[in-house]
């Protein structure tokens, strides 16, 4: 092999190492969207070349969270935050919000609240953090009026996204809050809006069905709620939302 060829190989290897985060995310994403979380993790670990960066750690945390393993996801998010210094172009707000959802799943609500507020302070304008602030109240059954206000904020922020798309799950969470406040007709209107939004993968649809089921259960529509939980379970049987739905089917 000539010296020039060796230099070329070294250059290619260096480029692949620098791009390992993007490559790993691309390789893992299809499996994650299909709900095959173990395969997604294997692809991500292979792409990391034994040296995960903030992008890979963030993606690993997301996969673990969606697989219902928040205790393993938490250190991934924290390690990624440690790598991303203040002033970095990497969206720290997304890491804070992701950590917030993992902490909800771990029942550490005060810490989750702080994470969502840090995400907002860091520049989160997606509505994701307000959605998290609403969810943590609804799962606890406290401050429902405040939860409803946060769902409205989440929807308004989502309208300002580049694609203007409002996730159906935002409307479903709003329906859950309305249902807990005894505003059944408004809850049904919000659910109808939620179901009109096309969801692109099994995980997001399962999340929508779980929230819809919780809303319907709160207005004493047990049969309809069960249908939502069954659909959510069937879509994401290996993920946290599918398992949450399954808990309401036994």
The predicted-structure confidence for 14-67, as pLDDT tens digits, reads as follows: 444 455 556 656 666 788 888 889 888 888 877 777 677 888 899 899 999 999
Which pLDDT score, from 0 to 100, does residue 21 have? 56
Place of tokens 């408004």: 186
**CATH numbers and ranges of domains, the chain:** 23-118 (1.25.40.10), 125-250 (1.25.40.10)
CB 199 within 8 A of CB 205: yes
Q: Which residues of the chain have pLDDT under 70?
A: 1, 3-28, 50, 86-88
Helix axes 70-83, 92-105, angle to 10 degrees: 160
CB 176 within 8 A of CB 216: no
Which pLDDT score, from 0 to 100, does residue 25 have? 65
Which pLDDT score, from 0 to 100, does residue 9 have? 44
Which pLDDT score, from 0 to 100, does residue 14 have? 41
Q: Note the pTM of the prediction, 2 decimals.
A: 0.88
CA dihedral 132, 134, 139, 140 (to 10 degrees): 120
Q: Is the dihedral of CA 34, 25, 80, 41 positive or negative?
A: positive
Which pLDDT score, from 0 to 100, does residue 16 have? 43
Which pLDDT score, from 0 to 100, does residue 20 have? 54
Which pLDDT score, from 0 to 100, does residue 247 have? 93
CB 76 within 8 A of CB 61: yes
Which pLDDT score, from 0 to 100, does residue 12 have? 39
Which pLDDT score, from 0 to 100, does residue 109 have? 96
């Amino acid at each position: 092999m000539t010296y020039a060829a060796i230099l070329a190989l070294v250059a290619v290897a260096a480029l692949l190492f620098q791009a390992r985060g993007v490559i790993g995310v691309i390789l893992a994403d299809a499996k994650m969207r299909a709900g095959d979380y173990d395969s997604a993790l294997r692809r991500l670990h292979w792409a990391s070349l034994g040296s995960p960066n903030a992008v890979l750690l963030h993606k690993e945390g997301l996969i673990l969270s969606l697989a219902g393993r928040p205790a393993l996801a938490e250190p991934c998010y924290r390690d990624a935050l440690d790598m991303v210094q203040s002033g970095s172009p990497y969206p720290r707000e997304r890491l804070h919000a992701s950590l917030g959802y993992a902490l909800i799943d771990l029942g550490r609500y005060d810490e989750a609240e702080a994470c969502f507020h840090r995400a907002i302070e860091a520049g989160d304008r997606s509505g994701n953090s307000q959605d998290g602030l609403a969810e943590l109240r609804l799962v606890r059954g406290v401050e429902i009026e405040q939860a409803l206000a946060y769902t409205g904020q989440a929807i308004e922020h989502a309208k300002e996204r580049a694609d203007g798309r409002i996730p159906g799950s935002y409307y479903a969470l709003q329906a859950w809050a309305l249902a807990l406040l005894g505003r059944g007709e408004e809850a049904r209107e919000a659910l109808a809006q939620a179901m009109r939004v096309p969801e692109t993968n099994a995980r997001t649809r399962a999340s929508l069905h779980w929230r819809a089921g919780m809303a319907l259960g709160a207005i004493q529509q047990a049969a309809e709620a069960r249908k939502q939980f069954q659909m959510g379970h069937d879509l994401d049987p290996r993920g946290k939302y599918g398992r949450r739905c399954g808990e309401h089917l036994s």
